[in-house]
Amino acid sequence: MRRKSALSNGTVGVNDAAPDGELPTSTEEGVARRSAVAEEQAFLDLATARRDRLANHLQVELSSEARDALERARQRMLRQQHEELRRAREGLVFGRLDGLDGIVRHIGRVGLRNDSEDSEPLLVDWRAPAARPFYTATAVDPQGQARRRHIRTAGSTVVDVDDEPLDGTMTAELVGEGALLVALDQRRTGRMSTAISTLQREQDDIIRAEATGPLIVQGGPGTGKTVVALHRVAYLLFTYRRMAEQAVLVLGPSPRFLRYIAQVLPALGETAVVSATCDTLLTGIRVGRDESRLLAEIKGRALWQHALANYVTSLLPRPRELKLRWEGEFYVIAAATVAQALASAVQGRPYHRARAAFAEQLHHLLTDVVAEQREALMEEMEEGFEDILARVDRSMGQDHHSARTPTGSDIDGLLSEEEIEQIRCRIAEDATIARFIEAWWPTLEAETLLGELLTDRTLLARFAPQLSPEEITAVSTEPAPWASSDIPLLDALADLLGEGDAPQPQGEFVADRARRQRSWVYGHVVIDEAQELSEMQWQMVLRRCPSRSITAVGDIDQAEAAHRHTSWAQAVQAAFGDRWTAAELTICYRTPREVMDLTEPVLTKAGSHNTPPRAVRSSGIVPWTLTITPAELAGAAAQAVRQLQQRWHGGMVGVIAPADRVAELLGVLSDVPVLTATQSKGLEWDATLLIDPQGIATEPRGWNGLYVALTRCTQELGQLILTQQSPHP
């Protein structure tokens, strides 16, 4: 809201925050804070009332029946606006900027117009350019701002405020540190929440970066990679409205992860989003088996893109003379003509689209041959029976009842364009011709083709000569049911074949249509845990976003997949070459300093050359260890979990263990998640119980996995160390 600021009546400092719900009791400080809270409560009430009026107005608009396509499009837009307002009940207002020019702007989940004719909005959308100083202004670079205020709310009540002067008298490392640390200290719920009130500058820079090409964001544990990725989606959809017409694809590492983030984008008002994993991108195809790391690594290599393209090309028909039967007569199309038609049909087209193009050309070619033969026959008839035809013509001229306007072959033996088109239509509809085309250029299925290739060593050696004999032997096994590494190969084949998507009913939102169609082209793709993607999975991404408007976030030091790359340059070389932009998140907000101090030697053993992110908060809880024997594991784990749950009541406790220990632990720990290091990626809990860290380290890429496992907690880390000897008292 555009109004004058009154900073002279006292400033509530960043470090003056009292516990939630408790305002300071000292006279001067307490009065200032209570006054600030009351001021913001009045504004929140005003904004809430305005939100309700707008939502009610939209509801009335939506109650009318749409009569045409234009009206239906308008109603879809209004319905999206209504949904955005409906979801903005919680945290409607969370910030305020007081400009050096005396102008005050409130920042919120959505933008709200003012009741008056004033062009300044009542509430500025957090994604709007005017809101950016809320995340980026500092005392060194105030960007025209005198003060930033974080407003903490619970439902419709203002709980507290944190003020940060930006007039050069104070230098803070973090923007709104008080509000950020309060958010980090809150109990985990098992669902990710929005972070629009506490985004930091390096995060906001990435969120608002240009979307013209691949952006690869490196960030260690707790740096807010996922928060940045999801808020970037919301920002892009708000800023580039055309992108919303194409939808945005969000790729995550697992269904568990997608459930964890499921509330974030809807809470930000975004519906033009499809969430998936690489394994679920192909409609109707499901992963049905695990596969060895060796096979996963081999099938993930970029060489398969070229191999599959050559494989499909080999299945195209070869030019030859074609002899076709139509309406009882045989017609011949010369080999040279067929070769020319094939070349014209194939040029750059997928297999089935080339087939359709050739079929259309064949109909025309056969029509020409039929027409030529009929015209030749009529010419022969006219030469042999000229006087008979003359008498017939004279008699037809005398009989006015049978008279008609002569056309085409009636006049000169040549077929008219209309007659030729009638022949072509009959040929196109002829079942015999259709059967001939199907036999000569058959319809193919990606699943059948891949199964044949992967079980035939001769074919593998021919089309994937880069593979060694040992690798060919490893690959040439029964492929069904499909493994995760088969999905990108199936996707590549489906693209090369050009399988058409079946017509789909129009969904309420663009995302409904996009998720049903394999060939949908998205406006932008966001990838979380991108370091896990194989080269063939990157190709899946490119097919869905040929514009390369892609944001990929991850930590190369947390890579656990079977591929061999250890740097981002290696990871994306096959997909992007050198044409990508790098960004980095350097500050760890989630994981406490006490835990991050344990990670440097683990990263060294993982072969990392990166500097670990710098933790900016301390939980005050030193990580603890307990040494036990394997026989004591079940009881010790159950007891440790109970103690952690008591200490972090209302929050979340998670257990991470080596893969071969998970089944045993699930039998005694039924009320907490028990995961491998890989499964825990991207998740966070108040407290983590890490079981047998040395066992995790011995797994493939185990030191990377241990790095993941160590950094899942926001408060407390406990470790159960297994030994074959009885532990000392």
* 14-50: pLDDT as tens digits: 333 344 444 444 566 678 888 889 999 999 999 999 8
Higher pLDDT, 504 or 220: 220
Contact (Cβ atoms closer than 8 angstroms) between residue 527 and residue 541: yes
What integer is the mean pLDDT of 313-331? 92
Q: Is the peptide bond before 481 cis (omega within 30 degrees of 0)?
A: yes
Instruction: Give the count of alpha carbons within 13 A of 559, CB side only.
Output: 22
Higher pLDDT, 582 or 127: 582
Local confidence band at 648 (pLDDT 50, 70, 90 cut-offs): very high
* pLDDT tops 90 at residue 351: yes
Higher pLDDT, 537 or 503: 537
Cα 142 to Cα 148: distance, rounded to the nearest angstrom: 10
Cα 140 to Cα 410: distance, rounded to the nearest angstrom: 93
What integer is the mean pLDDT of 529-545? 95
Lowest mean pLDDT among 61-75, 552-566, 657-671: 61-75
Higher pLDDT, 303 or 728: 303
Contact (Cβ atoms closer than 8 angstroms) between residue 572 and residue 538: yes
Strongest mean pLDDT among 369-383, 440-454, 596-610: 440-454
The pair of three-digit structure tokens given for residue 269, joined into one six-digit string: 């008002």
* pLDDT tops 80 at residue 195: no
| 404-424 residue pLDDT tens | 444 545 444 577 888 888 999
Q: Which residue has the tokens 């998670």?
A: 654
Higher pLDDT, 463 or 701: 463
Local confidence band at 382 (pLDDT 50, 70, 90 cut-offs): low
Q: What's the confidence (pLDDT) of residue 683? A: 84
- Quick check: helix, strand or coil at residue 273? strand
| 282-316 residue pLDDT tens | 988 889 888 899 999 999 999 999 999 999 999 99
Closest CA to 268 of 505, 29, 12, 91: 91
> What single-letter amino acid sits at 121?
P
Cα 146 to Cα 391: distance, rounded to the nearest angstrom: 107
| 132-170 residue pLDDT tens | 888 777 666 788 988 888 888 888 899 888 887 876 544
Q: What's the confidence (pLDDT) of residue 450? A: 95
The pair of three-digit structure tokens given for residue 610, joined into one six-digit string: 């990166």
Cα 562 to Cα 571: distance, rounded to the nearest angstrom: 12
Closest CA to 463 of 347, 339, 315: 315
| 109-118 residue pLDDT tens | 888 988 765 6
| Residue positions counted in the chain | 729
* pLDDT tops 70 at residue 198: no
What integer is the mean pLDDT of 489-513? 74
Q: What's the confidence (pLDDT) of residue 19? A: 42
- Mean pLDDT for the chain overall: 83
User: How far from 401 is each of 50, 404, 626, CA to CA, in Å?
Assistant: 82, 9, 112
DSSP character at residue 289 = B
What integer is the mean pLDDT of 169-176? 44
Which run of H or E residues covers position 229? helix 225-239
- Burial group, residue 353, by CB count within 10 angstroms (0-12, 13-18, 19+): middle
Q: What's the confidence (pLDDT) of residue 725? A: 54
**For a pLDDT cut of 70, what percent of the chain falls above it?**
81
Q: What's the confidence (pLDDT) of residue 553? A: 94
Contact (Cβ atoms closer than 8 angstroms) between residue 152 and residue 40: no
- Quick check: helix, strand or coil at residue 334? coil
CA 706 to chain CA centroid, Å, is 27
Question: What would the DSSP string read from start to end of 470-507?
Answer: HHHHHH-S--PSPBTTHHHHHHHHHHHHTPPPPP-PPP
* pLDDT tops 80 at residue 727: no
Q: What's the confidence (pLDDT) of residue 193? A: 46
> What single-letter amino acid sits at 30?
G
For the entire predicted model, the pTM comes to: 0.72
Cα 268 to Cα 193: distance, rounded to the nearest angstrom: 10
Class level of CATH domain 593-722: alpha beta
Which run of H or E residues covers position 394? helix 386-398
- Establish whether domains 215-310+447-588 and 593-722 are of one fold: yes
Contact (Cβ atoms closer than 8 angstroms) between residue 674 and residue 662: yes
* pLDDT tops 70 at residue 213: yes
The domain locations on the chain are: 3-185, 215-310+447-588, 316-395+412-440, 593-722
User: How far from 569 is each of 113, 258, 278, 552, CA to CA, in Å?
Assistant: 46, 27, 21, 13
Beta carbons within 8 Å of 540's beta carbon, 6+ residues apart: 278, 281, 487, 488, 491, 492
Contact (Cβ atoms closer than 8 angstroms) between residue 542 and residue 281: no
Beta carbons within 8 Å of 417's beta carbon, 6+ residues apart: none
* pLDDT tops 50 at residue 501: no
Q: What's the confidence (pLDDT) of residue 631? A: 93
* pLDDT tops 80 at residue 705: yes
Q: What's the confidence (pLDDT) of residue 405? A: 47
Class level of CATH domain 215-310+447-588: alpha beta
